[in-house]
Structure 1
Amino acid sequence: MIIKKPNSLKLKLSRNTTYRKFNKIFLNKYINILFFLFFIFFTSTYFFWLGAYGRIDGTLGRYRVFLNGLYQENINIVKNFVNGKLSNPASFSFDVKFQNLKEIQNKIDLLRKNEKILDKEERKLVNASLTYKGEKYDVGIRLAGGEMDHVSSTKWSFRCKVKNGKSIMGMHEFNLMNPHTRLLMSPWVCNEFYKKNDFININYEFVDITINGELKGVYILEEWFDKPMIEKDGGRAGIIFSPRYNDVIKIFKENKVLKNDQLKSQLSYLKNNYFGLINGEVNPSFFFDYDKFAKHFALVDLLNGSHVYNRQNTIWYFNPITKLVEPIGREWSSRAFNKIESITIDLEDVYFNKILFSDENFTKLYFKELELVSSKSYLESFFTEIKAEKDSLSSILHKDYPYYNYSFDYLIRNQKYIRNRLNKITDKIDTKLIIKEHNRAFIQIINNTNLPIQLNEIILNNENISIENKLLQDSSNMVLLDLDDYSNFSSAKKLETIFLNIEVLFLNQKKTFSKKVLIPIEYRNSLFTFLSKPNQEKIFKKYDLKINHQKQLIEFPQEVSFDEVIIIPPNYNLICNAGTKIKFEDGGGLVSYSSIYLNGSRDSPIIIEGNSSQSNSLVVIGNGVDTSKINYTNFYNLSKINEKDWGITGSITFYKAPVIFDNCSFSNNVIADDFLNIIKSNFKINNCVFNNSFADALDADFCTGVLNNMEFNNIGNDALDFSGSNIYVDSINFKKVGDKAISAGEGTIINGSSLIASSCEIAITSKDDSFIFIEDVNIFNTKVAFCAFNKKSIYGPGVIEIRNSKLSKIDVPFLIEKGSRLTIDDSIVDPVNNKKVKDMLYGIEYGKKS
């Protein structure tokens, strides 16, 4: 056997190889550990930056939108990109002088360096020009926005103010912002909720912006607060303001307000009521429009947009008709990423919300609106209505953000949260029996939720036990019922037979508790909750007005005289029978928050008569549903409510109050701008006569109406004045009209036939995007037969189409501005040569000064 000597070289090599492998493995692990630690440090630093600086300048929001979009859209990004490039948004091209642009850029650099928001110095306008649809406008621009995200990129936000009384897209002033600062599609969707709920709302558009030839891309256009914003939604010019901290009221366009006597008077009224509200001297129902604010709060909850409650973001409108304040929705900052964790009633630190929820009547309305917005059908209907426009706007956004996805899922989640909150309220109402000393028995009822419930009545074994209406906000409130007060329950031994029916407001559901506790849900309304005078019932007795509480009717006596304004509350209809005579002495008038029924007859008409220029007015403010009916009623010598701070301009006013007039006469009114003013209402007027109207006879704003077989004689200004309305007229006779027989403005549409106009200043006028079509027209002894023009810069031209007309003794048959159109029997009439018709009207050459 040969034993070989080990090869020392191979052994050495083997040992070296093993050593090198060991070192390599150890070194790899060491490098991996170092890499891991570096990765942790890097990512921690990056995400800290995202959470800190990134939150300040908006990077975090853009990052989250980007990642969410990639996850949601993935394969759709290519399609979005193509659709975006094919979209055709409005295009704004700005030309800014080098020095002015440099001034703005220096401000941006300073803001970025100091990481501070704009101060007064940064908000000064610089001159520029803006080209839109081939027309050049002089404008002023400045930086805009209250956070750093508005200047954190090259797509900085700015305010644009159109000069020389002109407007663009119907706006005098607007913001142009990086869409990320408003969460892209979110404000448009939120605003659509408000638009569909009849709020004063802001116009949102998506536009392409170019500055000095450099394409900046898609911006979001946000209308700023001005008179056109109110008027486009059918509102009457009023004060827009923001209640800031330290009892400061910021008035928008304050200089214009102070130069207008009526607005100045309204401002004084508003401030008195505002500070009275803060000091507890004014009931919130006399300051806030409860219906509007209840809807507003419910929508904010649905949108998870409580950012709107920040005082800087709180914008209100003083409605001069109702003399109440309405909210304007803006700055919801609603994010799909944020989980909803509360609703408005939970936010105890929001001062004005706390005031509103102190009134049980408002709380009822709020929960009623919560039920509405949390129903599945509510969102389903909304999604269907806005889908086409949403898809179109999304394509515009996809030009710059093909990864962007706006999902309605968060709204559905918010709905579910609200439903759960409402459904669980009855589970947290505890009832328990308490036996105290001397064997006395009590029933304790405690509300363990943070939602309010109200106990109206307790029923023990079919015996009704009335209690004072009490709102139980939380577990600190309770009802303790002493059963010794009732003969059937004089000792504890009988407690086993007790069950309770507890009325819980706000929810349409039932819940049975232990101890056989049944909770039927139904709403209850207290009498005269909204009256402006606490002693109203005494006043009714003073004038012998009969009140039937069961039928909710108020009936006037056969003859009555008022020397003060009588107020009819909501839900109590007013009835006057044939032959009733109502006279308004100095200071007398009638304001009804319910429908009225004036049932005169041919032989025994109702007479409503004033005797001075002090008040002597009829005002009906309705709910937009119930229709007033007025038959064979004669109105004489009426004026208007004599309060400068109330925006009532008519001798008779119907606001959101549908009405039918049959066989009525309107004669000899004084002072008022309109004899009959109908606002945001449907109406029918048949077989009626207007005689000797001080100014306009009938003024209808944002209405749908029918007029048939009517006469207008000796009218001071316009006989028929329509704004934003859809009207049908038939068989109308005008004699001696001081201004226009028919005036259509602000997008009004009038169709009709059989009109006769004689001795009028102007017969038929269409202006500001209005359209008039009439068959069989006879006009004679009149200065101007047909007039069409553009008056307000936020609107377009007027159009008139006439068939089968007869004109005689006319000074100027046609006064048609270039751009507007008059067609007679399919023949187009030539316009006046490059003249502004507006500059010839209103008492300058034709018509009367308005």
Structure 2
Amino acid sequence: MFFKNFKKIILILLILSLGFVGIYFVDLFGVQEKINNQFKKVSFYNAVKEIPRIKIKMKKEEYNQLIHQRDTLLERGNIPWAIDGTEEKLKVKAKFKSGKAKSKGNIRIAGHFWDHWKRDPFSMKVRTKSPINGSSRFNLLNSRTRGHMTDWFAHKLELDAGLNALNSEYVWVDFNGEDKVYLFEGLYDHVFLKQKGFSNAVFVMEYTYDTTRQIKLKFPEKEPSTALVKRCSSLYDSLCSGSLSPMDFIDYKKMAKFYALGDLYQSTHQYYHFNLRYIFNGETNKIEPVGREYWIEDKGENRALFLTSHLNDSTREYGYIPEVLFKDTTFKKYYYKELEAVSQKSFLDKAIKKYQSDIERGKILLWRRYPWLKDPIDFKTLYTNQVWLRENLNN
């Protein structure tokens, strides 16, 4: 009996030893890595099936013109493209298809800085005659230009807060026969307003360049409602002159939520007047924000509330709106209330849990182009920012 059990023990040990040796040789010859990569490839193509597809077709001559301008921009180096409109990029014609939707339109290279055009795929700005993937104006972006899923997550938080978030999602693009993953960013058009339930509204931006110090508004070039434009401009002028209370022109609740989310991110990039748009709601005669281009920043000891950091904006790059808002005691009450809400750990916990499957799919989609990327969103810094907010609010 003893010898039978002994033989079994020896046999088990031998099998285990062979197993460990097998694992060693698998790792030694890189077989395990190949197996892992194969699983990732399968996961990648499964993830691709779950996202929208867009097909773009261009004539070879026009495609080559677009590539030539991209190469010209690369030779230019890290010199920003003029934001004031004194430089124009080449627009080329293209045909678009997404599901059953088809449209003609044009494409140009997107962005003011070379992070948009120095990497593959380079970023593109698109205008179509009819909606493609729910927008007639949109960007197809290199994922890194928006911090991968950093801006995407901010838009999800905006949606949960009842704000007018842009449509941000990954799409699979067949660009003249070459398949690539892009970050789709829907922009400001009549389709967006309709989707958000606005029947009488117009987009507006503060156009306050530091070289002129002028305060003025800019509206879409082809805005059909001149009455809305005149009414918004008149109310804005009254606000600037001090004859109109900011509460009668600005949606306090939504602006407070917007600024609080920015403080959670410790980001001010979305506040620059050339990034930020407002919607003037003709039913309420008030403006509300539409933000984009959030960044997560670990500022360490230099963390600050926008309440104080906007005071350094001597050239009014953030526009005139925050200047009047943060002087108003009623608005600041709304603002502090929203800061208290976003500073709670449960605020992030719930959002991450809600969008976990989308985040995991994003990781898989980014794997092929960025295999070294571990986390497409810096949640660690967001949680650290929350701690700082709580400490700041309690002082």
Give the aligned partner of residue 368 of structure 1: 337
> Residue in 1 aligned with 2:153?
189
| Match of residue 630 from structure 1 | none
Distance in 2 of aligned mates of 1:135 and 1:372 = 41
Could you say which residue in structure 2 is the equivalent of 1:228?
Answer: 191
How much does 1:275 deviate? Answer: 1.9
Match of 1:152 among 99, 111, 118: 118
Aligned pairs for 1:245-644 within 5 A: 245=208, 246-252=214-220, 254-255=221-222, 257=223, 259=224, 263-335=225-297, 338-339=299-300, 341-347=303-309, 348-350=311-313, 351-404=320-373, 405-406=375-376, 407-424=378-395
Q: Answer whether contact 1:297 1:366 (CA < 8 A) is retained.
A: yes
TM-score (norm. length: structure 1): 0.38
> Cα–Cα, structure 1 residues 248 and 102, in superposed 2: closer, same or farther, change >3 Å?
farther
Q: Any conservation in 2 of the 1:200–1:230 contact (CA below 8 Å)?
A: no
CA distance in 1, matches of 2:163, 2:292: 11
Instruction: Mark the runs of 5 or more structure 1 residues left unpaired by the alignment.
Output: 1-75, 425-850
Equivalent residue for 1:179? 143
- Offset of 1:419 from its aligned partner? 0.4
Say whether residues 1:202 and 2:166 are aligned partners: yes
Shift of 1:80: 5.2
Deviation at residue 297 of structure 1 after TM alignment: 0.8
- Aligned amino acid, residue 394 of structure 1: K
State the alpha-carbon separation in 2 of the partners of residues 420 and 199 from structure 1. 27
Judge conservation of contact 2:202–2:280 (CA < 8 Å) in 1. Answer: yes
Find the counterpart in structure 2 of residue 92 from structure 1. Answer: 54
Three-state SS of the structure 2 residue aligned to 1:146 is coil
Aligned to 2:7: none
CA distance in 1, matches of 2:342, 2:98: 39
Q: Is the 8 A contact 1:190 1:332 kept in 2?
A: yes
| Map 1:205-216 → 2, pairs under 5 A | 205-215=169-179
Partner of 2:26: none
* Within-5 A mapping of 1:628-707: none
Q: Per the alignment, in what secondary structure is the counterpart of residue 401 of structure 1?
A: coil
Counterpart CA distance in 1 for 2:150 and 2:352 is 14
- Over 3 Å counting, the alpha-carbon distance change for 1:134 and 1:295 in structure 2 is closer
Partner of 1:83: 43
- Which amino acid is 2:365 matched to? I
Distance in 1 between residues matched to 2:266 and 2:38, nearest whole Å: 31
Q: Per the alignment, do residues 388 and 281 of structure 1 end up closer, same or farther by CA in structure 2, a change over 3 Å counting?
A: same
Name which structure has the greater RCO, CA cutoff 8 Å, separation 6+: 2
Deviation of 1:184 (Å): 0.8
Tell me, yes or no, if the aligned pair for 2:201 and 2:280 is still in contact at 8 Å. yes
Q: 1:77 to 1:237 in 2, by over 3 A?
A: farther
SS at match of 2:296: coil
What CA distance in whole angstroms lies between the structure 1 residues aligned with 2:251 and 2:227? 20
Distance in 2, matches of 1:231 and 1:395, equals: 33
What's the offset of the Cα at 1:79? 6.3
Q: Does 1:240 align with 2:208?
A: no
Which structure features the higher share of helix residues? 2
Higher strand share: 1
Secondary structure at the aligned position of 1:156 is classed as coil
Give the number of the structure whose alpha-carbon radius of gyration is greater: 1
Displacement of 1:82 in angstroms is 5.0
Residue by residue, what CA displacement relative to the aligned partner does 1:479-515 show, whole Å, maximum 9, x if unpaired? xxxxxxxxxxxxxxxxxxxxxxxxxxxxxxxxxxxxx
Distance 1:84 1:402, change over 3 A: farther
4+ residue runs over 6 A deviation: 76-79
* 1: CA distance, partners of 2:133 / 2:173: 15
Q: Alpha-carbon deviation of 1:113?
A: 2.3
Shift of 1:134: 6.8
Local SS of the residue matching 1:148 = coil
**CA distance in structure 1 between the aligned counterparts of 2:158 and 2:308, rounded to whole angstroms:** 22
Alpha-carbon distance in 2 for matches of 1:288, 1:139: 35
AA at the equivalent of 1:218: V
Q: What secondary structure does 1:209 align onto?
A: strand
AA paired with 1:180?
Answer: R
3-state secondary structure, aligned to 1:247: coil
Question: Alignment partner of 1:312: what SS?
Answer: coil
- Residues 111 and 123, structure 2, Cα contact 8 Å, conserved in 1: yes
Per-residue deviation, 1:180:
0.7
Aligned letter for 1:87? Answer: A
Cα deviation, residue 387, structure 1: 1.5
CA deviation profile, 1:222-246 (whole Å, cap 9, x unmatched): 0010122122222334111110212
Cα RMSD between the aligned structures?
2.3
Cα distance, 1:84 vs structure 2: 2.3
Among candidates 110, 128, 132, match of residue 98 of structure 2: 132
Indicate how the Cα distance of structure 1 residues 361 and 167 shifts in structure 2: closer, same or farther if over 3 A, else same.
same
Determine which of 89, 97, 110 is the counterpart of 1:123.
89
* AA partner of residue 164 (structure 2): I
User: What is the CA–CA distance in structure 2 between the aligned matches of 1:362 and 1:375, rounded to whole Å?
Assistant: 21
- Mapped to 2, the partners of 1:359 and 1:277 lie a distance apart of 13
Deviation track 1:69-115 (CA, whole Å, cap 9, x = no partner) reads xxxxxxx9886555324322333232211221222122222222233
- 1:422 alignment partner, SS class: helix
Q: Is the 8 A contact 1:176 1:222 kept in 2?
A: yes
SS in 2 for 1:318: strand
The letter of the residue matching 1:86 is: N
Secondary structure of 2:355's partner?
Answer: helix
* Structure 2 CA distance for aligned equivalents of residues 237 and 182 of structure 1: 31
With over 3 angstroms needed to count, the CA separation of the structure-2 counterparts of 1:386 and 1:213, relative to structure 1, is same
Q: How big is the shift at 1:366?
A: 0.6
Structure-2 change in CA distance of 1:308 and 1:77 (3 Å): farther
The answer on whether the counterparts of 1:204 and 1:222 sit within 8 Å (CA) in structure 2 is yes
Residues 142 and 160, structure 1, Cα contact 8 Å, conserved in 2: yes
Number of residue-to-residue matches in the alignment: 340
Deviation at 1:248, TM superposition (A): 3.0
Cα drift, residue 391 of structure 1: 2.0
Structure 2: 5+ residue stretches without partners: 1-35, 209-213, 314-319
Relative to the length of structure 2, the TM-score reads 0.80
| 8 Å Cα contact 2:96-2:132 kept in structure 1 | no
Kept in 2, the 8 Å contact 1:77–1:403? The answer is: no
